Chain A
Amino acid sequence: MTARVETPTVDERQRQRTEVAATREMTKARRLRRRDLALAILTPVLLLVAWQIAADTELIDRQLFSPPSQTLSRGAEMVASGELATHVFATVARLLVGYSLGAVLGIIVGLAMGTWRPLNAALGPTFSALYALPKIAILPLLLLIFGLTETPKILAVMITIFFVLQINTLSGIRQIDAGIIEASRAYGATGLRQFRFVIIPAALPSIFTGLRVAAGLGVIVITAVEFVASNNGLGFLIWNSWQLFQPERMFVGLITVSILGALLTFSVTGTEYLAIPWRRADRPARRRRTEKKR
């Protein structure tokens, strides 16, 4: 072959043009994503600034809506004195113990009901009826039985979480594709091995949906319980601030509770991401080498 002069061919020029256009498109998509993020952050910041200004100019009642700056300094005081930590610790302990116990029990019972028909027949209707009962309504009964101890608080959370997980686990098993079960049987997965390799992974997405829903519910229930039946914890802090008319202390409590809820939900989502790798949409198949022709 003779050496050729290095001038771009028509083909090459067309390719370059397409590449430039593709790069431009990508840059545009990235810019839009950055804009979305900026907007998402800007909204709460602007709201807080507006609140501060409105309070400073007496546009809103400073007594009721203590300006963010005051809430912040009150929060710093409470952190420094250890008051906030005491409340956070009390709530987190109750929440975690109740949540874990309820979740574990709910998953176990849900799995058992999903795989063992008589158990489902025996418990299903009763559980469905009990599910509709607002769990917070049984708090007085629990207080009657256990007195003003930690037990009724933890139990109230636990019962709430239990039903959510039991129902989600069961429906996760119900939704397993019959073809998958048949395939697993055909390949020799029966009994415990079917449970481990097929039923649990198949139900896992639904279980995690339950865990996420339960995280939010758990925070609601523990806060409500602490309103009435506790002398510590974040629920107590919020309620007590109302009684003492200390709005900025109340705001500190409210913000802390929402952070707690967000953290709990976030850790469930994170665990879900790690536990269910096959559901990640963001991992494209490897395609670097081309498939061999046969």
Chain B
Amino acid sequence: MTAASNVAYDATEVSKVFFARDGPVWALQDVSMRIEHGSFTCIVGPSGCGKSTFLRILGGLETPTSGSVEVSSDAGDQPSAAFVFQEHGVFPWFSVLDNVAFGLRMSGMGKRSREDIARDWINQVGLTDFEDSYPHQLSGGMRQRIAIARAFATGSPILLMDEPLGALDAQTRLLMQEQLVRLWELERKTVVLVTHSIEEALLLGDRVVVMTARPGRVKDDIAVPFERPRTVDVERTLEFGDLRHHIWEALRDEVLASVEQS
């Protein structure tokens, strides 16, 4: 089976089992999902529902126990998906500039051109004056922006983000959400974003996938109707409230179940 040309990822009945000390743990069960090129998909679900695992499987960092993921080869020789991790995963021994340029360096780009691109993205995320600083000299929010710039700088058409804003305080988070919307609307990359926050999913995504408690399955798949370009103002509309309520209704039982599991 080959994926249709406008499909970036076609996951079919993906299951993942981990082996813990007291027996196997089903992280994912028969998750099927198609992700189209240029779409922004948000995955929400209770803690431990395997949504991060699914993201890692999409990105090829983990292999599914069973099932398959078709990755479209449309991108040609473009670099594979760029990741933004929950704990940002920036390298403490590299300056901001070297961190942002890291993906390009690994794909063999010369120093001059990769640093030009990296500087551009450092500007985009508002870290202009900090390119020579080391991550430990910066705040958590700034480190997370390094991670986001690093992902965008690879030029990869696909971005996989695992709670990229989860570790931020509420206000910084709002600012970063606005920034993400802006960057995405500029570039129209294919984005899959895992988040805890329903509001964030509705603000950023074209589509919100709700997952069940462990073992993770797709419970609901909701199209987000808001026009682009978007601003945080959509959160004040009636429709936003309705959708948020709808998703919370779907999520509520799962969160309860996940609390009982742990």
Contact = CB atoms under 8 A, between A and B. Distances in A.
B220 to A, nearest CB: 29
A192 to B, nearest CB: 12
Nearest to A201: B93
21 contacts: A177-B87, A179-B89, A185-B61, A186-B59, A186-B61, A187-B154, A188-B103, A188-B107, A189-B106, A197-B91, A201-B91, A276-B93, A278-B92, A278-B94, A278-B134, A278-B136, A285-B138, A288-B129, A289-B129, A293-B126, A294-B179
Interface of A: 177, 179-180, 182-189, 193, 197-198, 201-202, 204, 276-279, 283-289, 291-294
B106 A179 contact: no
- For chain B, the bracket of interface size reads 35 or more
Given A277-B134, A286-B132, A182 B126 contact: no
B133 A180 contact: no
Given A180-B91, A285-B137, A187 B59 contact: no
A291 B93 contact: no
B79 interface: yes
B85 interface: yes
Contacts of A184: 91
Contacts of B81: 186
A186 B83 contact: yes
A284 B135 CA distance: 11
A287 B130 CA distance: 8
A25 B50 CA distance: 53
B85 A179 contact: yes
B150 interface: yes
B102 interface: yes
B128 interface: yes
Contacts of A180: 89, 91
A291 B91 contact: no
A294 B79 contact: no
Contacts of B90: 183
B103 A283 contact: no
Contact of A182 (B82, B85, B127, B136): B85
Contact of A198 (B91, B134, B136): B91
Contacts of B89: 179-180, 182-183, 186
Contacts of B93: 201-202, 204, 276, 278
A208 to B, nearest CB: 13
Interface of B: 59, 61, 79-83, 85-87, 89-94, 102-103, 106-107, 126-130, 132-138, 150, 154, 179, 182
* Residue with the highest number of chain A CB atoms closer than 10 Å, among B80, B83, B106, B138: B106
Given A188-B106, A201-B91, A292-B128, A183 B85 contact: yes
Contacts of A288: 129
Nearest to A194: B106
Given A278-B134, A283-B137, A284-B137, A182 B61 contact: yes
A72 B166 CA distance: 65
A254 B71 CA distance: 70
A291 B89 CA distance: 23
A22 to B, nearest CB: 23
Contacts of A283: 134, 137
Given A186-B85, A286-B133, 4 more contacts: A183-B85, A279-B136, A291-B127, A292-B126
Contacts of A277: 134
Contacts of B61: 182, 185-186
Contacts of B106: 187-189, 193
A286 B130 contact: yes
Contacts of A189: 102, 106
A185 B133 CA distance: 24
B145 to A, nearest CB: 10
A291 B126 contact: yes
Nearest to B60: A186
Contacts of A182: 61, 85, 89
Contacts of A279: 136
B129 A286 contact: yes
A240 B126 CA distance: 68
* Residue with the highest number of chain A CB atoms closer than 10 Å, among B133, B135, B138: B133
A287 B134 contact: no
Contacts of B59: 186
Contacts of A294: 126, 179, 182
A31 to B, nearest CB: 28
A37 to B, nearest CB: 27
Contacts of B103: 187-188
Contacts of B136: 278-279
Contacts of A186: 59, 61, 81-83, 85, 89
A189 B94 CA distance: 14
Q: List 7 A-B pairs, minimum CB-CB distance, nearest first.
A: A183-B89, A188-B106, A201-B93, A285-B137, A186-B83, A285-B133, A278-B134
